[in-house]
Amino acid sequence: MFELPPLLLALAFILVGVAAWFLGRRNGAARTVRLPRDYYVGLDHLINDRIDHAAEIFARMAEADGDAAEIQFALGSLFRRRGEVDRAISIHSRLRDHGGPGTRDKAAFALALDYQSAGLMDRAERVFEELAASGEYRHAALDHLVAIYETQGDWAKALKVFNELPGAVQLERGRVAAHYLCELAEQALLQGESERARTLLKQARVHQPALPRADILTARLTERAGDAAGALALYLHALEVSPGLALEIIPSVLSIARATGHADTLGELGRRLRDSGRLTPRQLAWLLATAVPPAEMAHLPGITADLGVGLASAAEANSLSALLSRIGDAGGRYQCDDCGLNSVGWYWRCPKCRTWDSMRPAVFKWAERTDHAVRAS
Ligand SMILES: [Zn+2]
């Protein structure tokens, strides 16, 4: 995450080399005067992507001059990038344990990154925790700790570290803290602790007042408390605010409607989605075709006609629905807006790019593409 791009790495070597050359001239020491030649050869290898040769030369330079900490840091980072984490760990451990006071924290941070890329999370966590106590690397260490706890799904710890971040960063990332609290609320809900779940959702809204996920969880709590009409209203409101959650919400809405004998729920769903103004007609029609259960498919043409987004007949609705499920089964029902990952299941945070609230029904994109194609023809 904190890797240097090759060009920057090369620049670092240029600076180190020039500094060494000046030092060598001032001290008149033959040993340091030799450094620039080695360094130019190493740099040539580096620029021409002969990383093995470059690493060898820089290792020799670092060995010849025990004080050349910067060269060793660059070397350690080079080894980590090549996946030779053992060698990176040994360089950074040595710098942390024997380096001067100015290099110890920097070496510890680099060491934690080595552990992280080697998958030694408990060790990375320990070093980051030490660095997070104080000093120059505090903020960066907290960021890495949050990322580790997110990956492990340890939301309580992620939230604890979040609360140690600077106030401005907390404000900027309020939505993320709200998601941690929603995760904890979901766990409470699973354990039957409704009161605790309510408290956590209240805390979540302090970080982010408009929070569709909290709306859905509140609807589930309301449903569990036996207030079907209240739950239905909450689900419909969540749908209106966040049509992207339709595939998650529609089954719950239809199940309440079936249980309570509520009529025309599908029509109501469609109107809410249309009036949200966030979907094209085709997106709306295709979304309904994806979400409506086969037993109710016969009603779909009538509903879409009322909405003005027509599917001509029940046969057309059926074949569209079959087509969409086939595409969905092959590629996934959801797609990440940020990195394009397709997934069969729903995630609040994309497992690939780790962005929150970036998954959307894949049918939105397919419909958009068709809309473009229709417009272009
Ligand atoms: Zn993504």
Per-residue pLDDT of the chain (377 residues; tens, 9 = 90+): 445 556 556 656 655 665 565 555 555 444 444 555 777 787 787 777 776 677 677 666 666 665 567 878 888 998 899 899 998 998 899 888 887 777 899 999 999 999 999 999 999 999 999 999 988 999 999 999 999 999 999 999 999 999 999 999 999 999 999 999 999 999 999 999 999 999 999 999 999 998 999 999 999 999 999 999 999 999 999 998 899 999 999 999 999 988 888 778 888 888 888 888 888 888 888 888 888 887 777 788 888 888 877 776 777 777 888 888 787 777 789 999 999 999 989 999 999 999 999 999 998 888 877 766 656 65
By the CB criterion, residues less than 5 angstroms from ion ligand 1 are 336, 338-339, 341, 350, 352-353
Q: How far is the CA of 246 from the centre of ligand 1 (A)?
A: 19
Q: How far is the CA of 220 from the centre of ligand 1 (A)?
A: 27
- Nearest of 162, 227, 158 to residue 194 by alpha carbon: 227
φ, ψ dihedrals at 359, nearest 5° = -80, 140
Q: How far is the CA of 122 from the centre of ligand 1 (A)?
A: 26
Q: Are strands 334-336 and 359-361 parallel, antiparallel or unpaired?
A: antiparallel
Contact 188, 196 (CB under 8 A): yes
Q: How far is the CA of 283 from the centre of ligand 1 (A)?
A: 21
Cα–Cα distance for residue pair 323/319, rounded to 1 Å: 6
Tell me the CA end-to-end span of the chain in Å, nearest whole number.
45
Q: How far is the CA of 245 from the centre of ligand 1 (A)?
A: 16
- CA dist list (Å): 320 to 86, 317, 328: 55, 5, 12
Q: How far is the CA of 357 from the centre of ligand 1 (A)?
A: 9
Q: How far is the CA of 366 from the centre of ligand 1 (A)?
A: 17
pLDDT at 10: 62
Cα–Cα distance for residue pair 43/372, rounded to 1 Å: 50
Name residue 299's amino acid. Answer: H
What is the DSSP code (8-state) at residue 120? -
Q: 369: how many CB neighbours lie within 10 A of its CB?
A: 11
Cα–Cα distance for residue pair 292/250, rounded to 1 Å: 8
Q: How far is the CA of 349 from the centre of ligand 1 (A)?
A: 8
pLDDT at 136: 92
Q: How far is the CA of 332 from the centre of ligand 1 (A)?
A: 14
DSSP string, 214-239: HHHHHHHHHHHTT-HHHHHHHHHHHH
Q: What share of the chain is helix, strand, coil (3-state, %, to 5)?
A: 75, 5, 20
SS3 of residue 334 by DSSP: strand
Q: Are strands 359-361 and 342-343 parallel, antiparallel or unpaired?
A: unpaired
Tokens of 13: 């070597």
Contact 227, 263 (CB under 8 A): no
Say which residue the tokens 């959650």 belong to: 245
Q: How far is the CA of 362 from the centre of ligand 1 (A)?
A: 13
pLDDT at 32: 46
Q: How far is the CA of 116 from the centre of ligand 1 (A)?
A: 21
Q: How far is the CA of 354 from the centre of ligand 1 (A)?
A: 6
β-bridge partners, 335: 342, 360
Q: How far is the CA of 347 from the centre of ligand 1 (A)?
A: 10
pLDDT at 249: 93
Q: How far is the CA of 172 from the centre of ligand 1 (A)?
A: 20
Q: How far is the CA of 219 from the centre of ligand 1 (A)?
A: 27
